[in-house]
Amino acid sequence: MANIINGIQHLGVGVPDLEASWAWYRKFFGLDIPFFNAEAPAPLMQIYTNNEVITKRAAMIFNLKGGCAMEVVQPTSFKSTHAKTTFQLGDLGIYIGHIKTPNANTAFDYFNQNNADVIGDITTTPDNIPAFYVKDPNGLLFLVIEDKEWYRKEKHVTGGIVGCTIAVSDIEKSMKLYADLLGYNHKLYDKTSTFKDYESIGERNKTLRRVKLIQKNQPTGGFNQVGGITHIELVQEISDRPKLKIYEGRKWGDVGFVHLGFDVRGMQEIGKKLEQEGFGFTCDTKNVLSMGDSTKVHCTYIEDPDGTLIEMIEVYKIPIIEKLGLNLNVEKSPLEKPLPNWLLKALRFSRVKD
């Protein structure tokens, strides 16, 4: 069976109040279209929830302007809480979510005018792209970064997820997964220094190695025409400071970036390759998982060399207009064929308005 990793599908976030968090994500990130929004047990995650089957409410939301989705997860059988430790860049895990915008200045003004927790001023990333930092109501850090690639004209000042920053202990070891196996094999930069754009988030004099990766051969299947070109930035702190793991001793669903999700086709073949390379599935639904009445997927998880969770999703059925019972079965679609534009644009009829 053929197989392919299409790239980033979503960034998962754990929150204590889904409704409040989603309202903020709609207002500031334009994430107003849900693929699903349902409550269910999460037996798949027992290894990451102290061997207990938790229940959670989850909403997969995206911005039709362009960019990838965000999965917002609120545990309902326990309270999602912040870590007792204050982490810093260099501690291991997903540290910054990246949101795309056509104009950083316009977005910066909108965020400030609407009293978002903007951190510092507009800056530039190591590849000279205008950007700024903002924290959501739960204290999660996002980089809002300019991007020229868009799927559809929409009024909102941002699109959706375009990537994230993952802190690792050894970039060379991490590249075996992210570059060699997941396909993010083209470097946009590889720099070791102190960085001006990190000054506003309190990392003024810290020496770091930063590597920004994209897929050299951009897949065209599934939702790629909406998600566009995505990136992963790996960051390694060059110091003897003991590095903490952001989710060590915590549950999946506690406040933070819980995982990075990839859209795949041919899960079994991908799993065999990952197993051969030392990144076997830590949990696997084995078959079709229903998320609400109209969403059916196959989900697995792997860990990067530092334990950061990577989710893989093979989508079989998704809602287009759930309230009308209009769904799309994509199981037998050709790997390289993108979903038709008319179907993607029909998703606007499920938009949640404030």
Which residues are 97's β-sheet partners? 142, 164
pLDDT value for 204:
86
- Cα distance between residue 125 and residue 345, in whole Å: 32
**Domains, the chain, ranges and CATH?**
4-316+325-350 (3.10.180.10)
Is residue 316 helix, strand or coil? strand
Q: Can you say how many angstroms the Cα of residue 319 is from the centroid of all Cα atoms in its chain?
A: 20
- Cα distance between residue 297 and residue 352, in whole Å: 23
Model's pTM, two decimal places?
0.93
Segments in the chain below pLDDT 70: 1-3, 219-222, 287-295, 317-340, 342
In 3D, which of 8, 12, 78, 4 has the Cα closest to residue 309?
12
DSSP E strands, 249-349: 256-265, 283-284, 289-290, 296-303, 309-321, 326-329
Contact 264, 312 (CB under 8 A): yes
pLDDT value for 336:
57
- Cα distance between residue 196 and residue 205, in whole Å: 9
pLDDT value for 317:
65
pLDDT value for 1:
38
pLDDT value for 221:
63
DSSP E strands, the chain: 4-14, 33-41, 55-62, 69-75, 93-101, 117-124, 130-135, 141-146, 161-167, 186-193, 208-214, 231-237, 256-265, 283-284, 289-290, 296-303, 309-321, 326-329
Residue 313 burial (CB < 10 Å; 0-12/13-18/19+)?
buried
Contact 57, 76 (CB under 8 A): yes
